[in-house]
């Protein structure tokens, strides 16, 4: 069956599955295997069910299973394709499945270059209490909006299993779980049963969109509900945010004080108390949308508490940097917020575990010698230790480890290694950011006057960056090959960092444009539109929990420690372009990542899981599922074996997951969470930002700004701030209140740094 609407055409198979959806020159692909859809599927009475449908006429397909009737009906709805899904309970008793819903069939499997550039990743799926919305997006920028004006209980993703046995790095397609057993997040409608004789229908709209800017305005219309956009989701005490509401002219706001600005815009006043604030916006028809904002402590609070947690939750000698990355947090805290007792404890931990992993005299790892990111991070750590101590030995170790990393450089400039598993040898240039680490060492060497080694490392860095410029996203990653969050974000970060070091404008342009190209493709893997301070801007990883906290099966981790790789990239992009949107994204993402440290307790969590309903298994089988959503850790310790346990099964969803290194003595990788604090130190800890906008207003990030009698007064949010970045459209005189005393400067138009010295 073929049908068409305004600007699109589609084909439906005899089984009722979409085969393709064309929008102009773009074709959106659908699966043709067991993941084809839309198709009714479910899990009930301890079995997984796939419901076969047959043509019933008038655009409708129908089928029966276990006393239940299932139907799908396709129709054109202007610019959208409408699918109405109906289930009728003819059993004579209530139907209470684990889940029952639609496998969507959108082809999301990213398994090879260049095909993955056309595949649509399930970037955002969001249940509101009264409706559902989201979108799929490809690296090339194709966007497929999905919306329902009806309440949808939940959603889930079909994660793959890698050929080498681990949970994989790919997603087949996504599901709308129209009926879903509890528990579910409080925002979700609780639709977990059909009574005997009850029939229920949902209409789902699929609409190709021109870009991200169309998602909220268009889906608000399809959902007949308000859609929310907020400029700042993590704020300083007393700071204000601007809310834009799409789709409704008359709404009611609850949960946060506000001032109406007109035209669907509101100024939100979350207040002075450090806490999360929940905003609910209700339209005239009663449909509601939710947002979350967070009023944060000073950035220095996060570094101080992260150091404390890095000592409480031990760093471990490991074959993987993910076991000891908190050594970075300890070193950077020692540099910026020294505390004698904590710094001595951090140094003792360094002396305990680093010699077990590294031969510092030979500047080489003792184990897992070809996993290049391990010595690269260690090189960067010693460059940071040099900054903290001034000890030239630290820089010699850093330089030797940088040489070790570059010993894996091939003639084409790329860095090759493997994970030590013998799976395959891959391009490690952008597995984490080994070249950024080498460049950090190089810049430290220049500052110390070590010109010969600095030049040697610069040549290696340039060769690797030239390779990325040539190859673009035709690169590889550790584990299963895919269009992977880290390899794309780290490529952008390394190229952006290198571009900023260029004195030649043409060289700066070449590397900068390549970095921006990677970031453009990476948008499909970022939570750019979600109105939630816990996740906004964070990246969509989904295979890390099995290694980091020994928690299976796959689930989204957003933020994960590696989400901060993208924040380096967007921060460099801001400095290269002056576009405030990059700065806004950096600060909102950083704010989301910092919330892994709970305030006011300062307790460190590993990451956040956006999936609404995951039956998770940690450390082994048990005989029951727990539905306790309290924040206690999943791990259940066996008193007879300290540090070991029988494991636990529980249902988790849209919540933080605890660290395990403090209770589990074995191998785990949860200390990769400390990448957030390394990023914080580079991007925001000691920096504030002033931006002059096109309308002449002047805004600040990590500070406050006021204009009085032609003088721009800037007050950084923390005494630790030692530099202010200016992005001005015209000359201004500024008075900047650094902690050590105010400084007045005459600044011209353009981008520039002003330091306290």
Q: Which two tokens stand for residue 196?
A: 């005997």
Confidence check: pLDDT of 421 > 70? no
Cα angle 131, 136, 138; round to 5: 165
Over the stretch 512-560, which tens digit does the pLDDT of each residue have?
A: 999 999 999 999 999 999 999 999 999 999 999 999 998 999 999 999 9
pLDDT tens sequence across 668-716: 899 999 999 999 999 999 999 999 999 999 999 999 999 998 899 999 9
Can you tell me the distance from the alpha carbon of 548 to that of 668, in angstroms, rounded to the nearest whole number?
Answer: 5
Residue in the block written with tokens 């999301």: 108
pLDDT tens digit sequence for 85-113: 999 999 999 999 999 999 999 999 999 99
User: Which pLDDT tens digit goes with each residue over 36-91?
Assistant: 999 999 999 989 999 999 999 999 999 999 999 999 999 999 999 999 999 999 99
Token pair 């000359």 is at which residue? 731
Is the pLDDT reported for residue 18 higher than 80?
yes
CB 8 within 8 A of CB 79: yes
Cα distances (angstroms) measured from residue 497 to each of 372, 432, 447, 502, 573:
19, 14, 17, 9, 9
**623-653 confidence digits (pLDDT tens):** 333 333 333 444 444 455 454 445 567 888 9
* Structural element, H or E, at residue 632: none
* Extended beta strands in 378-482, E state: 416-417, 426-427
Beta bridge partners of 39: 103
- Per-residue pLDDT tens over the stretch 205-234: 999 999 999 999 999 999 999 999 999 999
3-class DSSP state of 397: helix
Query: pLDDT at residue 422 above 80?
Result: no
pLDDT confidence of residue 625? 36
Spatial separation of the C-alpha atoms in residues 414 and 664, rounded to whole Å: 37
pLDDT at residue number 650: 81
Which residues are paired to 26 by β-bridges?
23
For residue 258, the model assigns a pLDDT of 97
Distance between CA atoms of residues 30 and 37, nearest Å: 7
Q: What is the pLDDT of residues 232-265, one digit of tens each?
A: 999 999 999 999 999 988 899 999 999 999 999 9
Residue 751 has a pLDDT of 97
484 membership: H or E segment, kind and range: none
Q: By the 8 A CB rule, do 32 and 19 touch?
A: yes
Using one digit for the tens of pLDDT, what is the confidence trace for 444-482? 999 999 999 999 999 999 999 999 999 999 988 888 899
């Amino acid at each position: 069956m073929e049908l068409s609407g305004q600007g699109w055409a589609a084909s439906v198979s005899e089984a009722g599955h979409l085969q393709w959806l064309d929008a102009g020159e773009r074709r959106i692909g659908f699966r043709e295997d067991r993941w084809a859809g839309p198709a009714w599927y479910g899990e009930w009475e301890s079995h997984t069910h796939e419901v076969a449908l047959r043509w019933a006429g008038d655009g409708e397909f129908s089928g029966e299973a276990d006393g239940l009737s299932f139907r799908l009906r396709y129709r054109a709805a202007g610019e959208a394709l409408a699918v109405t899904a109906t289930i009728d309970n003819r059993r004579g008793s209530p139907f209470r499945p684990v889940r029952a819903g639609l496998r969507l069939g959108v082809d999301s499997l990213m398994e090879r270059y260049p095909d993955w550039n056309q595949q649509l990743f399930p970037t955002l799926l969001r249940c509101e209490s009264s409706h559902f919305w989201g979108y799929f997006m490809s690296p090339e920028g194709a966007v497929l909006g999905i919306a329902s004006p009806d309440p949808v209980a939940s959603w889930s993703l079909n994660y793959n299993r890698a050929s080498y046995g681990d949970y994989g790095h790919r997603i087949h397609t996504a599901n709308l779980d129209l009926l879903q057993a509890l528990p579910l997040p409080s925002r979700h409608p609780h639709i977990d049963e059909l009574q005997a004789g009850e029939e229920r229908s949902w209409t789902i709209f699929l609409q190709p969109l021109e870009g991200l800017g169309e998602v909220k305005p268009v889906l608000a219309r399809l959902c007949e509900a308000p859609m929310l956009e907020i400029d700042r989701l993590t704020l300083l005490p007393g700071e204000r945010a601007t809310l834009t509401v799409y789709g409704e002219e008359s709404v009611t706001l609850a949960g946060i004080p506000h001032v109406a600005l007109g035209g669907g815009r509101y100024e939100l006043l979350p207040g002075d108390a450090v806490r999360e604030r929940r905003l609910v916006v209700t339209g005239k028809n009663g449909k509601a949308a939710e947002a979350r904002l967070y009023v944060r402590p000073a950035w220095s609070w996060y570094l101080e508490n992260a150091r404390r947690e890095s000592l409480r939750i031990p760093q471990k000698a490991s074959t993987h940097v993910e076991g000891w990355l908190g050594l970075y947090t300890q070193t950077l805290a020692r540099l910026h917020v020294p505390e004698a007792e904590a710094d001595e404890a951090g140094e003792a931990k360094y002396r305990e575990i680093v010699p077990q992993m590294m031969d510092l005299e030979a500047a080489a790892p003792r184990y897992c010698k070809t996993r290049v990111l391990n010595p690269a991070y260690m090189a960067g750590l010693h460059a940071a230790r040099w900054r903290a101590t001034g000890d030239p030995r630290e820089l010699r170790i850093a330089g030797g480890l940088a040489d070790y990393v570059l010993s894996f450089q091939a003639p084409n400039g790329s860095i090759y290694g493997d994970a030590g598993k013998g799976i395959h040898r891959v391009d490690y240039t952008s597995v984490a950011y080994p070249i950024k680490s080498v460049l950090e060492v190089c810049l430290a060497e220049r500052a110390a006057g070590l010109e010969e080694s600095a030049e040697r490392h610069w040549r290696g860095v340039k060769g690797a960056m030239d390779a990325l410029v040539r190859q673009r996203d035709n690169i590889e990653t550790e584990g299963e090959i895919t269009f992977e969050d880290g390899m794309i974000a780290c490529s952008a970060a390394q190229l952006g960092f290198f571009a900023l070091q260029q004195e030649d404008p043409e060289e700066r342009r070449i590397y900068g444009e390549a970095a921006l190209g990677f970031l453009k493709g990476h948008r499909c893997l970022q939570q750019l539109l979600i109105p939630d301070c816990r996740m906004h801007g964070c990246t969509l990883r989904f295979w890390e929990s099995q290694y980091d906290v020994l928690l299976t099966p796959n689930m989204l981790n957003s933020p994960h420690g590696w989400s901060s790789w993208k924040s380096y990239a967007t921060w460099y992009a801001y400095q290269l372009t002056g576009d405030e949107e990059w700065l806004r994204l950096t600060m909102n993402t950083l704010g989301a990542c910092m919330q892994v440290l709970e305030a006011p307790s300062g307790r460190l969590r590993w990451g956040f899981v956006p999936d609404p309903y995951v039956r998770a298994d940690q450390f082994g089988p048990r005989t029951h599922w727990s539905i306790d959503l309290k924040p206690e850790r999943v791990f259940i310790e066996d008193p007879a074996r300290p540090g070991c346990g029988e494991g636990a099964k529980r249902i988790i969803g849209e919540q933080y997951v605890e660290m395990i290194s403090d209770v589990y003595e074995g191998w785990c990788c949860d200390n990769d969470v400390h990448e957030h604090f390394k990023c914080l130190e580079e991007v925001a800890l000691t920096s504030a930002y002033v931006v002059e906008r096109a309308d002449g207003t002047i805004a600040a990030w990590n500070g406050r700004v006021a204009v009085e009698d032609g003088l721009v007064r800037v007050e950084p949010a923390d005494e630790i701030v030692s530099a202010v970045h200016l992005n001005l459209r015209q000359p201004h005189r500024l008075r900047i209140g650094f902690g050590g005393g105010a400084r007045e400067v005459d600044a011209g138009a353009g981008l520039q740094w002003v330091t306290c010295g």
